[in-house]
Amino acid sequence: MAGATRTERDSMGELAVPAEALWGAQTQRAVENFPVSGWRMPRGFLRAIGLIKAAAAEANAGLGLLDARRAEAIRDAALKIAAGEFDAEFPVDVFQTGSGTSSNMNANEVIAHVAHSLGGMAVHPNDHVNLGQSSNDVVPTAIQVGAVLAVRERLLPALEHLRETTSRRAREHIDTAKTGRTHLMDAMPLTLGQELFAWASQIGHAEERLKDTERRLRALPLGGTAVGTGINAHPQFAERACAELARLADAPFKPAANLFEGIAAQDGAVELSGQLNALAVTLMKISNDLRWMNSGPLAGLGEIELPALQPGSSIMPGKVNPVIPEAVAMVAAQVMGMHATISIAGQSGNFQLNVMLPVIAHNLLWAIELSANAARLLADRAIAGFTVREDRLQDALARNPILVTALNPLIGYEKAAVIAKKAYASGRPILDVAFEETGLDREVLAKALDPLALTKGGIVEGLSGGG
């Protein structure tokens, strides 16, 4: 038996709406029109649109366009939306009208309903809640506000934590020499600390790029209404609404210098997605390095042991896998794919309006959340707790024929190559072979071939003047 309904009306006529629903006819039409994915607009978007509607009500009241009592009711209702009290009342699918009109009207209708119950007066979703606004400026603004807040509150703190955790482990192992690798082949030594500090530097640069992009996203198109002209909005609406929004969100939002651009294009969202894509590359690189370093424990590199978090096999007892780096690498792959979606969506509009706004919102905010969660997992469940297998590091260093590179200034490249090949073929320490082949003092050679000394770069003292 179908549930109880009530009749709602919009400009297209009457429509049956679930009796207990707080939305109206336009939302219901969208529910019926777009049974596509079951994915609803993300929490960050709903928070942003609630803050926008509250700021708009405050601005319109201050401009004398909305009576104080009705404005207060709208503001209170909108802030409840922002706080997540009515998320169940937003059933519209992500894959909807490209402007996001359905989601904007969903918010307008729910706020109008709640405001009516709070204030006891009639509140119209268009005439009052949407006053001075259009879906065309509200939805792009919500994308930017949601993204800025997610980056500031979730992603940047997570990356700072990852960077600090990585730097702390780097300091612990600044003198732990290990074999370097290029092309996955043995190369000159470095310290584990140097390797980890390189990761920390990557993360730090990701933070810098995100902060730079976030600065541009704080310039909002709110007040441009339908096409950027600001039709039906008070000339001071944009300034007042953005100032109130900045206060409510505790972020320095301001009106965009060109409202037409903010409505017609989504270049800022695409730029942020690009920075998330670059971050995904960093997280993938770190994750794969950890997997290689952890490989084994007998037949792989076996340089580190990641924390044992769960059994690794349903058939092989005792097997433990690098589950956190694998999960983070999958997140990175997902974010890269989302960037492709956002890039296509960003150029999908003609003239004055982008028409893939909901899918941009969905992918952008999801990518931020995934990246933040993955960064914390990587820090806390992989990097913070791995142990170093010093014996494996030292054994590999002793047998690394590439150490002979340090002798180039004294004996020349060709002679050094002969020694390296002989050491590799015999499996003997490079020091022993170099002593036999050069006749140099063993102490001199030991100093020249000291892996830790070689991590400091330059020309080893006493070895200048080679052939």
User: CB burial class (10 A; 0-12, 13-18, 19+) of residue 19?
Assistant: exposed
* DSSP designation for 58: H
Q: Decide if 173 is catalytic.
A: no
Alpha carbons 463 and 409: distance in angstroms, whole number: 6
Contact criterion met (CB below 8 Å) for 135 and 105: yes
Q: To the nearest 10°, the Cα dihedral for 228, 232, 233, 234? A: 130
313 is catalytic: yes
Question: What does the alpha-carbon distance between residue 253 and residue 244 come to, in Å, rounded to a whole number?
Answer: 9
* Catalytic residue (choose from 37, 103, 287, 313): 313
Closest CA to 102 of 135, 79, 56: 135
- Which of 116, 124, 167, 183 does the annotation list as catalytic? 183
Report the DSSP beta bridge partners of residue 181: 186
Evaluate whether 419 touches 437 at the Cβ level (below 8 Å). yes
Q: Six-digit token pair at 403? A: 């150490």
Residue 193 · residue 167 · CB < 8 Å? no
Record the tokens describing residue 132, joined without a space: 């001075």
Phi-psi region at 278: left, alpha or beta (left = phi > 0; alpha = psi -120 to 50): alpha
Per the omega criterion (within 30 degrees of 0), is the bond before 297 cis? Answer: yes
Q: In the chain, what is the greatest distance between 2 CA atoms, to the nearest angstrom?
A: 99
Alpha carbon distance 271, 268 (integer Å): 5
Report the alpha-carbon distance of residue 18 to residue 23 in Å, rounded: 9
Decide if 91 contacts 105 (C-beta within 8 A): no
Q: How many CB atoms lie within 10 A of CB 103?
A: 29
d(CA 442, CA 430): 12
H helix runs in 218-320, sequence order = 237-249, 259-264, 267-294
Contacts of 253 (CB under 8 A, 6+ apart): 145, 148, 218, 219, 220, 242, 245, 246
The whole-angstrom separation of Cα 255 and Cα 232 is 17
User: Which residue numbers are catalytic?
Assistant: 183, 313
